Amino acid sequence: MSNPIFSIIVPVYCGGQYIDSLIDTAASQGLAPEEYELIFVNDCSPDDAATVIQSRIDSRITPPI
């Protein structure tokens, strides 16, 4: 990612069911993909959050920390 205008930092714990919706909502805000990034911080979530995030990684999404 090169110089996004802003970053959305998302703490994740047992939120796997909401990740797809969050990513889709961020993408529908009318910004170009290079204008923002999503940074997911996974707090050892026992659900499938990390798997969902990994399946959606693209240039705007930083892998879970």
How distant, in Å, are the alpha carbons of 22, 46, 47 from that of 37?
12, 25, 23
User: Would you say 39 and 16 are in contact if contact means Cβ atoms under 8 Å apart?
Assistant: no
The pLDDT value given to residue 61: 76
User: Would you say 14 and 47 are in contact if contact means Cβ atoms under 8 Å apart?
Assistant: yes
> What is the block-wise mean pLDDT of the chain (65 residues), using blocks of 10 residues?
85 94 93 90 91 86 69
The pLDDT value given to residue 65: 61
**Cα separation of 60 and 43, whole Å?**
20
Could you count the other beta carbons within 10 Å of the beta carbon of residue 49?
23
